[in-house]
Structure 1
Amino acid sequence: MRRHRIAAALAAATVAAGTAFTLAAHTGASAAVGAAALSSNWYASAPYLMPQSNNPPDPVTVMSATGQKAFQLAFILAPNGGGCSPTWDGTSAVSSDTTVANVISRIRGAGGDVSVSVGGYGGTKLGQTCSTPAATAAAYQQVIDRYGLRAIDFDLEEPEYENDAAINNELGAAQILQRNNPGLFVSVTMPGTAAGTGWFGTQLLDKSKSLGFTPNNFSIMPFDGGFNGAASQTSALEAFHSLLMSHLGWDSATAYAHEGFSGMNGKTDVSEYFTQADFQTVLDYATSHGLGRFTFWSVNRDRACTTTTDNGVCSNVTQNDWDFTKFTARFAGATPPVTTTPPTTPPPTSTTPGSCAVAAWSATTAYNGGAVVSYNGHKWTARWWTYGDTPGGAAGVWVDNGAC
């Protein structure tokens, strides 16, 4: 997914200061810091929020307007210069952080809490740079201790997603953290396809089973892959439900209870559109089937575009501020405050054709994620590494960028 590669056109907003909370020493479980832990439905509903980039909103304002109590702060990465120590966005060491600590303090002071997401699309992941699952877990334990976390999300995407050793480090670390921090809410998030997830996703499920690791949920991201509206997303979720049963040996109810949805509000990176009506349809599916998680990317873009159309900081659909966050609050069981919804502007039904001045797809060429080819009069972009998968085929590897 390219959602995490979006560069903010606006400078990161200054986050209102708060007093950093007192840290407790790690004694084998996550430190009990700040407000009391929330019920697990809040961590299952926490929408993604980047606290240091993409013009971060004031989370307390969002909480007041929506009833949402938890946020998924993103992203913990390896240092840009290399190493096995946790940083925010590859640049800010967790060990010396005060900015995100103050954001967390404000959220907890307003009666909420946070989960932290590790990985994402961009940057280098700790699973790639740490030598073993134990070393990877030790790096993430620093984050848990620093912020007194009760929840963590493993957002496993390319290129790490395609690296067996890195995924073994990440899943092994998640299992160690789950064991050493009783009650820790653990999510595993991966790309979605029309088939539920792709080959690397099924390999991830198989790896989890071989380790004996069961997180609170496995979530897919059904966007940026040829999706069109809520029906395509619920179809993908149903297909993923079947994969959970077949690869993990679960019955139907267990699979639904451990399945999650992670959407994208408004215009996606490849110009798919998901409106409030789409979110309502998927929410209805999630609640009626007993899904274990409902979240989206991101709160930073949960507002109408006014002075910019930068997809990192606004949705590019007609909306009131924080309309989409109200759906996660509803999933958690809250009743959000009422606001007047502006009339919905239908998304564009056509796009300007792209140029076919790119190499034709070849069945004998290996392509990395992001590679662009032409095939049958359309331009296509690879979602991950592929060899021999025909654009438009059942594997769901290629994103159709339209006629050219």
Structure 2
Amino acid sequence: MNPRVAYTAPPAPGPYDGKRLSPWRVALGVIILVAIVAGSLFGYRLLVVDQVRAVTGAAWFAPYVDVTTTPFFAFEKPENDADRNVVLSFVVAAEADSCTPSWGGYYDLDEAARDVDLDRRITRLRESGGDVVLSFGGAAGTELANACSDEEGLRQAYRSVIDRYDVSTIDLDIEGANLEDPVSGLRRAVAIADLQDERRAAGDDLAVWLTLPVAPDGLTAAARTAVAQMLESGVDLTGVNVMTMDYGVDRGTQTMAETAIDALRATHAQLGALYEDAGTTLTAPTLWGKLAATPMIGQNDVAGEVFTLDDATALNAFAQQQRMSRLSMWSLNRDRTCGTNYADTSVVSNDCSGVDQQDTTFAETLQPGFEATPDASAGRRTTPEPVPTVTDDPAASPYPIWTETNTYLSGAKVVWRQNVYEAKWWTRGDDPDNPLADADSWPWRLIGPVLPGETPYPQPTLPAGTYPDWDPAATYTEGQRVMFQQVPYEAKYWTRGDSPAAQATDADGSPWQPLTIAQLEQIIQSGP
């Protein structure tokens, strides 16, 4: 007996019966699937980036400016868009045991306003559309937290600086001995947290950047402690800015940009762990948005470390790719090629980079993709209030009102149409704000506007009879001084019968030269 086999009817023919998928159809399907997945990932990435920008603000570039290095750098007159925002450095304690803020230990805030015209120059920069960030600390001097013995005094010191210059973003540059003291570090963190709370209660904000030294493998233990103290004290840290410079290690064949990128990747991982320890989990894109880099352009302090324009291009590309929120550089004072008289460019200069920049600047190379202003991260408006036009009032002006008949010595400052001008050389009858004047050949240099609440500074005045009046019949030798039309002159060489008046029309040919304001001040202090 044979087993029975069940019969199954064949399926009805379908639309693809007897057809095969060709290779191009398979490839097309794969491409479509990849596009769908990639589109979803791209949309997710855009969503994450939007979230990062909402937390950290738009990306901005601002080079550091050393405020106290002489000659003073004219940050108030940006040469291009890359120079319009600056990080002014450094605010430190006036003395190692003083809780009084100063610029570099050389000028307290009032002295900086008078001797450096800092308040006026900041106002002028803001009127042109730029803004400033204040940097506390630095490699030299004593950071306020290390000098102030209590938190209330420290808060008041920080507050006085922040309020005076009306900033929304500060930079805490903590390094050297200032970084190695955890007690002052905790005092700093608590004070900054309290200041943030105060400003938010008043409807303002305070963006806080912590600038720290870095090695190719990331932050040092002391630097990680500084970050942890900020987070544990409740500081809403805008970000960590690493100083990608002065590594002092064997980099092998790596470029300075490649070493900087290694340091940033290592710090990115460390920062994530520090936030985890503080009870906050952040995504990788958000952490990149909280990172910044500050290279030292050109020749670094360590021999053999030279950050080139190619390095700047590579670092900028990496920072844009990772959506970092800030780039800076040290410093705008140095962003130019050294002169031919500066023979050894391997020695660091405060005034030039030590590399041949041709017609390019490091600022313009590092800025692309970072065009926002620092205020963007703190939600502040960036358009300044218009300065009202008022009549010059001697009682509300820091310097005398300019008059056409007065003679002004080199260094003299005057007020004219609510602005302060400084004489570059002896002048009389030259309108300070002549709109047709060439800036290089005109005797006046614009410093900035008169500020609200200013009062006259004491003006140097020679006591009557300090020098004899010029006598056309007398013989004068080099170095002798006379008065002529109330202006003191000094003989450049032997002369008789040559009126000092000729100096006004032939300065080079005249045997007389007028004294400067600086000479007058020295004479008043020490005697003729």
Is this a same-fold pair by TM over 0.5? yes
RMSD between aligned residues: 2.1
Distance 1:248 1:54 in 2: 41
Equivalent position of 2:93 in the other structure: 78
Distance 1:275 1:266 in 2: 6
Secondary structure of the residue that 1:159 maps to in structure 2? helix
Distance 1:211 1:173 in 2: 9
Secondary structure of the residue that 1:230 maps to in structure 2? helix
What are the within-5 Å matches in structure 2 for residues 5-404 of structure 1? 41=58, 44-61=60-77, 63-80=78-95, 82-98=97-113, 99=116, 100-181=118-199, 182-225=204-247, 226=249, 228-249=255-276, 250-271=282-303, 272-306=305-339, 307-308=341-342, 309=345, 310-320=348-358, 323-333=361-371
- Percent identity over paired residues: 27
Shift of 1:328: 4.3
Residue 235 of structure 1 aligns to which amino acid in structure 2? D
CA contact (8 A) 1:76 1:86 kept: yes
Equivalent position of 2:448 in the other structure: none
Shift of 1:262: 1.2
Distance 2:96 2:226 in 1: 28
Residue 53 of structure 1 aligns to which amino acid in structure 2? T
Equivalent position of 1:337 in the other structure: none
Distance 1:210 1:60 in 2: 38
CA contact (8 A) 2:325 2:370 kept: no
CA contact (8 A) 1:194 1:235 kept: yes
Residue 258 of structure 2 aligns to which amino acid in structure 1? A
Distance verdict in 2 for CA 1:57–1:96, change over 3 Å: closer
Describe the superposition over 1:30-82 as per-residue Cα deviations: whole angstroms up to 9, x where unpaired: xxxxxxxxx9547x421100122153432244x23344321000000101363
Residue 193 of structure 1 aligns to which amino acid in structure 2? A
Secondary structure of the residue that 1:213 maps to in structure 2? coil
CA contact (8 A) 1:151 1:185 kept: yes
Distance verdict in 2 for CA 1:293–1:134, change over 3 Å: farther
Distance 2:287 2:61 in 1: 18
Distance verdict in 2 for CA 1:274–1:47, change over 3 Å: same
Distance 2:75 2:179 in 1: 30
Calculate the TM-score normalised by the size of structure 2. Answer: 0.53
Distance 1:204 1:80 in 2: 23
Describe the superposition over 1:152-201 as per-residue Cα deviations: whole angstroms up to 9, x where unpaired: 11001110100001111222222222222332222110001111111111
CA contact (8 A) 2:97 2:148 kept: no
Equivalent position of 2:53 in the other structure: none
Equivalent position of 2:15 in the other structure: none
Secondary structure of the residue that 2:171 maps to in structure 1? strand
Residue 69 of structure 2 aligns to which amino acid in structure 1? S
CA contact (8 A) 1:54 1:312 kept: no
Distance 2:333 2:321 in 1: 28
Distance verdict in 2 for CA 1:121–1:74, change over 3 Å: same
CA contact (8 A) 2:61 2:371 kept: no
Residue 352 of structure 2 aligns to which amino acid in structure 1? C
Residue 333 of structure 1 aligns to which amino acid in structure 2? E
Shift of 1:145: 1.3
Gapped regions of structure 2 (runs ≥ 5): 1-55, 277-281, 373-528
CA contact (8 A) 1:68 1:328 kept: no
Shift of 1:331: 3.8
Secondary structure of the residue that 1:217 maps to in structure 2? strand
Secondary structure of the residue that 1:221 maps to in structure 2? strand
Distance 1:95 1:139 in 2: 14
Equivalent position of 1:380 in the other structure: none
Give the number of the structure whose alpha-carbon radius of gyration is greater. 2
Gapped regions of structure 1 (runs ≥ 5): 1-38, 335-404
Calculate the TM-score normalised by the size of structure 1. Answer: 0.68
Shift of 1:109: 2.4
The alignment of Structure 1 onto Structure 2 pairs a total of residues equal to 294
